[in-house]
Amino acid sequence: MTQAKSLKDRLATTATGYGAVIDGVLNIRTVSDTRNAAALNALFVREFRVQTACFDTDCDCMVQLLTRLCPDMRLVPVTVGVTE
């Protein structure tokens, strides 16, 4: 029997971020560490070709654009973990 991993080890194999729910399904291709990046990924999935020079983590310009162009999409918080 193997020994249980420490909390530090388990936390190193998880990540939190945001993803887009498209047509009622969380699309894993949209998951990113910020809402803005997840919104940009969602726009790419819907084949909108958006070019941005915004790298401000507090900005929500892509979230606002996603809301205007695709009001049926929702950004949701996600947690991804690795199990053995």
Q: What is the pLDDT of residues 18-41, one digit of tens each?
A: 999 998 999 999 999 899 999 999
Residue 78 tokens read as 């996600």
Phi-psi region of 61 (alpha: psi -120 to 50; beta: other; left: phi over 0): alpha
The predicted model scores a pTM of: 0.77
Judge contact between 19 and 75, C-beta under 8 A: yes
Residue 21 tokens read as 């729910």
Judge contact between 1 and 52, C-beta under 8 A: no
Query: How do residues 28-77 score in pLDDT, each as one tens digit?
Result: 999 998 999 999 999 999 999 888 777 787 889 999 999 999 999 999 99
Which amino acid, residue 14? T
Average pLDDT, integer, range 2-14: 68
**Given strand 25-32, what is the order of strands in its sheet?**
25-32, 14-22, 74-81
